[in-house]
Structure 1
Amino acid sequence: MSYPKLIIIFIFFGLSFAQRSVNDFIEPPAFDAAYDIFQGDKLQTTPDSISLVKGETKQITYTFSGNLTKAIKVYFNTTANNIRLNPNVFTISPNLKEGSLNATGLDVTSRTFIDVYKCEILDGSGNDTCPFNKTESFVRVKVIHSHAIEILVSVTGWIYFVAWSISFYPQIYLNWKRGSVEGLNFDFLVLNIIGFACYTVYNWLMFFDHSVQDLYIQKHERALIPVLTNDVVFATHALLACIITGVQCFFYERGQQKISYTCMGWGSILIAFSAISFAITIFSVIDWLQFINNLSYVKMAVTLSKYFPQVILNIRRKSTVGWSIGNVVLDFTGGSMDITQMILQASNTDDWSGFYGNPVKFGLGLVSMIFDIVFLIQHYCIYRNSDSDVSYDVVQTTDNSSTRTLTNPAETSTSTIESPTGHY
């Protein structure tokens, strides 16, 4: 079976797998003593997270969802001294199952929590058992310098989402307009498809599968699920756009361009790693969370490697014709907005751990921007006069020599440069 067919099978297998529902196999967390008699009862919070500017006060409402036969005092505390609660206790009863408290920001912090400290049943028995799971009744609090900066964080997020989402279309349009995919490196495209296939499966399972979410919460207590709706939409859309670009390669003029041996080997390693991870997950050697984490490692490896073939192709062709600069500009815009958002978030909470605590995210974004700068220099500086639609039937790339045929539509003649034949 040919290498491109293997890739296509892998893509659709991944998409169909991502839609399956994995059966829950997570044991419930330990509850308070005697919690089993109140199974399903909760003290719900509205809202479950708030942002405060220093000195600002917001109200939090708590509602008990179960049945009560006696009045209960509920006491609260905070995990840090960045906020003040007033009051820090209220009473719920059979006739009044709702209470509220006010939280005031005292000092900037990226995250702290308001917790239920204890309960007191008002029957004189001294029983302090809460009729709900205390560990679930918490509120995330962030104290920031400015709501205006927080708005900018949201704006930059939408900018990079839109920029990255539409960055695939300039290349698709350019291929259609030229009726050719010459100048677009097939290695780059293949690696992109592999990367976004893994990224799509990761996002779908993390977002839709509750058992995976439970595993994540068990390992990252009180953390938010790191995948949002826009992540799922972006990943799926990106994969489909890459597949469309791949389909164009079968129908448009491509000369004798082929996938290089290096890409075949590297891509096979990435696919094999993903397939083995899936197999050992099925046999419970690793859990589903580790499986999708392995897929995220594949995406990282793709990001670090996919740009090199296109850079080398541009150098050897001495031209960027066929490689959409619009794609590069939009990708650079998205990357710069992503890093800008990280800077804004860090400065608004005085927490820079996003840079040194999660160097992978920052590093991958920086790598993409560096390559975008290389492409911009190639297009606008080094090869800025090579803007005619030049066609090369075969061009040496990363690992093979080949016969190169140059055709310039502006000329009536065709020149051929002979070199040892190879497979691209």
Structure 2
Amino acid sequence: MAASYSFLELVSEIFGWIYTLCWSLSFYPQPILNCRRRSTTGTTIDFPSINVVGFLAYFASNAAFLYSPRIRHEYALRNHGLTPTVQLNDFAFAAHALALSIITTSQFMPSLWGFEKRGRREPGVRISRSVMGIMVGSFIVVGLVAFIVFLRGDPDPRTGWAWIDVIYTASYVKLFITLVKYMPQVLTNYRNHSTAGWSIAQILLDFAGGILSVIQLSIDSYLQRDWSGITGNPVKLALGNASMFFDVIFMVQHFYLYNDKRAKAFAEEYDPLLYNSSGERID
């Protein structure tokens, strides 16, 4: 039995770092594609900019669950004395994703990267009002919960407001952002009848990472013999499932819906940088 548990612990650690690698690598195809094309045409600033806020929240929550004695103590009080199922690879991924999201967002400043300038009224050039509202609202919600805890914090975290609730709020901000951040790009692909300019490589890597993330969380909870490892870390479970759901949508768009001559003709007309003189796609 002990050998079985040691094996599962090893599998969990391996899966954790593999999914971290997959998710981390998924942030490179899009900025690399933008650099090759010297343009952000076909993508929207909404996706990377809202990612900055989401991964800032995710980074903060992972850091707290890993390194804050107070948060870890409050977690144990609420979850049968167990430790958080957040792993070092989760923290590393959040830090890396935050940095790459900032870099990708900066590519929408053409003068900074020497990219082709896009029209100020072109869809996707400016952050939409809805996304801006979500970004601002996220900071307000977390700040409000922190204010409530500061004023009415309960000495016993099991029965009232505690600082762990601030961390959970930041986690749920990340979850909510994940549920909505893909929609602007899904709609852009739909309007263009094309996925031109949107890297499918990042989606395939993201899909693989989502599967391994959910498996790792399940193994960790099994090893603890308590599924509160999942209920105590619902964001990690939801992140994996939500990302896989939208990844499937993007894969259907790329490989089935818009993988035809009409989509190519549309891309050639509106984004000639995607094709060479022979009509072959360069991304």
* TM-score when normalising by structure 2: 0.77
One-letter amino acid matched to 2:178: T
Richer in strand (by share) = 1
Say whether 1:308 aligns with 2:144. Answer: no
Say whether 1:52 aligns with 2:2. Answer: yes
Deviation string 1:84-124 (CA, Å, 9 cap, x unpaired) is xxxxxxxxxxxxxxxxxxxxxxxxxxxxxxxxxxxxxxxxx
One-letter amino acid matched to 1:215: E
Structure 2 match to 1:154: 13
Say whether 1:372 aligns with 2:244. Answer: no
Say whether 1:318 aligns with 2:193. Answer: yes
1:325-344 to 2 correspondences below 5 Å: 325-342=200-217
Write the distance in 2 (CA, Å) between the matches of 1:204 and 1:389.
Answer: 45
1:205-216 to 2 correspondences below 5 Å: 205-216=64-75
Q: 1:172 aligns with which of 31, 43, 56?
A: 31
Q: Over the residues paired in the alignment, what is the CA RMSD in angstroms?
A: 3.2
SS at the partner of 2:138?
A: helix
Larger RCO of the pair (alpha carbons < 8 Å, separation 6+) = 2
Q: 2:143 aligns with which of 264, 275, 283?
A: 275
1:226-375 to 2 correspondences below 5 Å: 226-251=85-110, 252-253=115-116, 254-255=118-119, 256=122, 257-283=125-151, 285=153, 286-342=161-217, 361-375=236-250
Write the distance in 2 (CA, Å) between the matches of 1:208 and 1:341.
Answer: 20
Deviation at 1:318, TM superposition (A): 1.1
Alignment check: 8 A CA contact 2:172 2:235 kept: no
Deviation at 1:262, TM superposition (A): 2.0
* TM-score when normalising by structure 1: 0.53
Write the distance in 1 (CA, Å) between the matches of 2:222 and 2:148.
Answer: 42
SS at the partner of 2:62?
A: helix
Deviation string 1:10-30 (CA, Å, 9 cap, x unpaired) is xxxxxxxxxxxxxxxxxxxxx
Write the distance in 2 (CA, Å) between the matches of 1:310 and 1:227.
Answer: 30
1:6-155 to 2 correspondences below 5 Å: 52-53=2-3, 144=4, 148-155=7-14
Alignment check: 8 A CA contact 2:193 2:266 kept: no
Alignment check: 8 A CA contact 2:194 2:266 kept: no
With over 3 angstroms needed to count, the CA separation of the structure-2 counterparts of 1:240 and 1:284, relative to structure 1, is farther
Deviation string 1:24-60 (CA, Å, 9 cap, x unpaired) is xxxxxxxxxxxxxxxxxxxxxxxxxxx714xxxxxxx
Structure 1 match to 2:156: none
Deviation at 1:204, TM superposition (A): 2.1
In structure 2, runs of 5+ residues without a counterpart are 154-160, 278-283
Structure 2 match to 1:196: 55
Richer in helix (by share) = 2
One-letter amino acid matched to 1:339: V
Alignment check: 8 A CA contact 1:207 1:228 kept: yes
Structure 1 match to 2:281: none
Deviation at 1:201, TM superposition (A): 1.3
Alignment check: 8 A CA contact 2:41 2:271 kept: no
Asked which structure has the greater CA Rg, the reply is 1
With over 3 angstroms needed to count, the CA separation of the structure-2 counterparts of 1:268 and 1:377, relative to structure 1, is same
With over 3 angstroms needed to count, the CA separation of the structure-2 counterparts of 1:366 and 1:284, relative to structure 1, is same
With over 3 angstroms needed to count, the CA separation of the structure-2 counterparts of 1:163 and 1:350, relative to structure 1, is same
Write the distance in 2 (CA, Å) between the matches of 1:210 and 1:240.
Answer: 26
Q: 2:81 aligns with which of 213, 222, 228?
A: 222
Alignment check: 8 A CA contact 1:321 1:388 kept: no
Alignment check: 8 A CA contact 1:163 1:331 kept: yes
Alignment check: 8 A CA contact 1:191 1:306 kept: yes
Deviation at 1:188, TM superposition (A): 1.9
Write the distance in 2 (CA, Å) between the matches of 1:347 and 1:216.
Answer: 18
Structure 2 match to 1:5: none
How many matched pairs? Answer: 258
Say whether 1:408 aligns with 2:276. Answer: no
In structure 1, runs of 5+ residues without a counterpart are 1-50, 54-143, 393-405, 413-424
Alignment check: 8 A CA contact 1:391 1:407 kept: yes
With over 3 angstroms needed to count, the CA separation of the structure-2 counterparts of 1:391 and 1:212, relative to structure 1, is farther
